[in-house]
């Protein structure tokens, strides 16, 4: 099997892993355009009011996007960060989704978890500045929203607790942690873990003027062949009343999402809560409510994340499904998943933004459609026929900046003639 890019999944057919303005901001011109009518939802703020979410993910894990490498001087880190924000403005985007808690560590002075190693190269070492505070302030100066992106349960890209910073919660509470697939994870089945990770994330929400709270697609870990996530003991302790372990695991993740939503609301801040799930909830062969896909990973069954329920119950404010496949890709066709997600959000009040795989454009390892700079532009053209689609988010900042084959430039030329306010 071949693992590609940020996400991965095994397709049944191919067997390939594929998993605004703020106060004081410069004014932006509304687009003033109207989408073609579709078969569904009510009026869209995107088309009716000139609002549209145009985001990019800015990943810090493993120094994917920023900083370019650990150990840069604070001034160099800041310069690189501002360059990404300036690129977002130049591309006529209006939101940056910054990964601020990549591996149970932080990009702000947290009382709960150590400074991330991706800043200095040493977990727990003070970088000498406040990256999250700077990002919020500088994003707002540029008329950009800054959404704080958290990964709830990932602890490390290795399984050696002794490599974590002294005093790291995973070291002081090793019973909270499980190894799986060569990585360490907090055990989602332990109630104290759920409370702790919420506390750690809420610290940033309370202290900073972030414009959104954002989870990615990692809940229970993606399946690794031949390995078992060893939570039998936890299930025996906490799983009474559930018909099977899978149902109990889904309830654990439901509790995380529902609880986080409640705690954000209790702050009194108008901060939307969004989640960016893997693009396939369930295949139609598994569930008649599922999408017309044959994906080898289904979030409901494999990650124990009932993403459809979170939307239908209104626990989240926006959803950004990672529809990271080209139009016509048989196992998971963008043109089939787009209307499926559009139907999921119908009449819920939850905003739908589409996650776009900019990182695949021009990658020689990808199939022919991704060698065409117009592929992503066609995605946006297709989405304009669905009034419930309020925008797009691009993975990720490095590709927004380098734009290997001009796919991002084509999106901007075809769809972003002026800057606009976000949809939220």
Q: Find the Cα–Cα–Cα–Cα dihedral 155, 157, 159, 160, rounded to 10°.
A: -90
- The pLDDT score that the predictor gives to residue 50 is 63
What length is written for the chain?
A: 424
Contact 308, 301 (CB under 8 A): no
- Distance between CA atoms of 243 and 251, rounded to whole angstroms? 12
- The pLDDT score that the predictor gives to residue 51 is 87
Q: Find the Cα–Cα–Cα–Cα dihedral 306, 311, 315, 319, rounded to 10°.
A: 100
Q: Find the Cα–Cα–Cα–Cα dihedral 249, 199, 143, 276, rounded to 10°.
A: -10
Angle value at C-alpha 32, between 26 and 35, nearest 5 degrees: 130
Stretches in the chain below the pLDDT threshold 50? 1-49
- Distance between CA atoms of 310 and 352, rounded to whole angstroms? 13
- The pLDDT score that the predictor gives to residue 421 is 87
Q: pLDDT of 211-268, one tens digit each?
A: 999 999 999 999 999 999 999 999 999 999 999 999 999 999 999 999 999 999 999 9
Query: 3-class SS at 334?
Result: helix
- Distance between CA atoms of 96 and 413, rounded to whole angstroms? 20
String of DSSP letters for 179-247: EETTEEEE-TT-HHHHHHHHHHHHHHHHHS--SEEEE-S-SSPPP-TT-----HHHHHHH-TT-SSHHH
Q: How far is CA 350 from CA 308, 390, 394, 423, in A?
A: 11, 10, 19, 11
Helices (H) and strands (E) in the chain, counts: 13, 11
- Distance between CA atoms of 278 and 297, rounded to whole angstroms? 9
- Return the closest-CA partner of residue 397 out of 141, 51, 63, 16: 63
- Distance between CA atoms of 330 and 318, rounded to whole angstroms? 27
- The pLDDT score that the predictor gives to residue 14 is 32
| CA 390 to the chain's CA centroid | 16
């Amino acid at each position: 099997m071949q693992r590609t890019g940020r996400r991965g999944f095994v397709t049944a057919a191919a067997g390939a892993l594929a998993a605004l303005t703020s106060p004081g901001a410069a004014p932006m011109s509304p687009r003033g355009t109207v989408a073609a009518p579709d078969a569904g939802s009510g009026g869209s703020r995107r088309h009716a009011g000139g609002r549209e979410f145009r985001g990019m993910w800015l990943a810090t894990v493993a120094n994917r996007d920023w900083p370019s490498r650990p150990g840069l001087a604070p001034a160099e880190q800041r310069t690189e960060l501002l360059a990404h924000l300036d690129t977002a403005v130049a591309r006529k985007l209006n939101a940056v989704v910054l990964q601020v808690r990549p591996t149970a560590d932080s990009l702000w002075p947290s009382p709960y978890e150590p400074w991330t190693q991706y800043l200095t190269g040493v977990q727990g070492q003070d970088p000498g500045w406040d990256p999250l505070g700077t990002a919020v302030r500088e994003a707002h100066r540029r008329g950009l929203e800054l959404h704080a992106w958290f990964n709830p349960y990932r602890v490390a890209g290795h399984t050696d607790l002794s490599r974590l910073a002294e005093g790291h919660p995973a070291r002081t509470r090793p019973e909270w942690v499980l190894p799986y697939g060569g990585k360490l994870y907090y055990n989602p089945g332990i109630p104290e873990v759920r409370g702790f990770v919420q506390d750690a994330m809420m610290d940033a929400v309370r202290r900073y003027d972030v414009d959104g709270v954002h989870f990615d697609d990692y809940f229970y870990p993606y399946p690794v062949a031949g390995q078992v996530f060893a939570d039998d003991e936890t299930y025996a302790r906490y799983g009474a009343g559930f018909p099977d372990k899978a149902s109990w695991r889904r309830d654990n993740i439901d509790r995380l999402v529902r609880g986080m939503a409640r705690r954000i609301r209790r702050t009194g801040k108008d901060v939307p809560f969004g989640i960016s799930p893997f693009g396939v909830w369930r295949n139609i062969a598994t569930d008649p409510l599922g999408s017309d896909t044959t994906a080898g990973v289904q979030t409901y069954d494999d990650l124990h994340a009932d993403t459809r329920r979170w939307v239908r119950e209104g626990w989240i404010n926006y959803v950004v499904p990672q529809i990271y496949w080209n139009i016509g890709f048989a196992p998971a066709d963008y043109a089939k998943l787009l209307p499926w997600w559009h139907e999921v959000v119908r009449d819920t009040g939850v905003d739908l933004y589409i996650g776009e795989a900019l990182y695949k454009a021009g990658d020689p390892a990808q199939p022919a459609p991704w060698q065409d700079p117009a592929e992503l532009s066609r995605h946006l053209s297709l989405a304009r026929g669905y009034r419930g689609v309020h925008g797009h988010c691009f993975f990720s900042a490095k590709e927004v900046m380098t734009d290997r084959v001009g796919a991002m430039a084509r999106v901007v030329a075809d769809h972003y003639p002026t800057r606009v306010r976000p949809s939220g």
